Amino acid sequence: MTTNLKKVFITGTDTDVGKTVVSCAVLDYANKLGFKTVGLKPISAGCELTSEGLRNEDALLLQQHASHLLAYEIVNPIAYQAPIAPHIAAHKSGEFIDLALVDAAITQVPDDIDFAVIEGAGGWHLPISMNKNSMNKNNSDNSHLFSSWVAEKQLDVILVVGVKLGCLNHAILSAQAIIHSGANLVGWIANSPTIDIANYTEMIETLTMALSAPLMGEIPYFASIEEKNENSANYLDLTSYLSL
């Protein structure tokens, strides 16, 4: 894997706020600029058992929207069938989440790839362990959180905000947590999960003032997820970021 590979981590204010939609849109945007891209979903749950093994719908979409086709095992090295928090799924399976598998997958990204979009799972502070010692509130070690891996790798982070009642608190807290973790919050993207969101303009204005990172796009509501995946890149502005 080339050391010049640009990597961005896509996190969200919660689960089901549009991380996959945004991840695919970012890939589409970069593809149009001529970047050679890959999409990664290191940890997933809620996978379907197929003849080829466990397959996650979000990971398959990332695979489809990338300009370079990676083996599924590289795109999604840690997968669980149960649609629950990954660390709980791992615990129920008698396993533990080993982030060395994620590191190994990333090293298999070809040297000629320019840009990798890495989609998180859930929100920013995703637990990856049920170890009582590591989860102890008096323990300052955050290695039980996926966010500590992101910060350790010094990845750029884009925060996806699902615009709805309650998102202001979630977005401000998430942005503060990302910065406090030591990761590089480069921007945020607003995603509309429903139509006719009350006080939409006021909420966007509030977050624009409250968040230190720039607004990189506002993705509107679409009647179908297929239409949303196909068109969302048109509502982003990543030219400045990708030119750095």
Q: Give the integer Cα–Cα distance in Å for 219 and 231.
A: 9
Q: Specify the pairing of strand 184-191 against strand 78-79.
A: unpaired
CA distance 159 to 153: 17
Q: Which of 6, 19, 41, 164 is catalytic?
A: 41
How far, in Å, CA of 189 to CA of 167, rounded? 12
* Cα separation values, 11 from 42, 92, 186, Å: 12, 25, 12
Q: Which two tokens stand for residue 116?
A: 């990798």
| φ and ψ at residue 18, rounded to 5 degrees | 110, 25
Helix runs in the chain, H state only:
19-32, 57-65, 72-75, 86-92, 100-107, 132-135, 146-152, 167-181, 200-210, 225-231, 239-242
Q: Is the dihedral of CA 124, 189, 64, 243 positive or negative?
A: negative
Euclidean distance between CA atoms 178 and 161, whole angstroms: 14
Cα 144 off chain centre by: 18
- The Cα 122–Cα 136 span in angstroms is 21
Q: Pairing between strand 48-50 and 53-55?
A: antiparallel
Tell me, yes or no, if 137 is annotated catalytic. no
Q: Which residues are catalytic?
A: 41
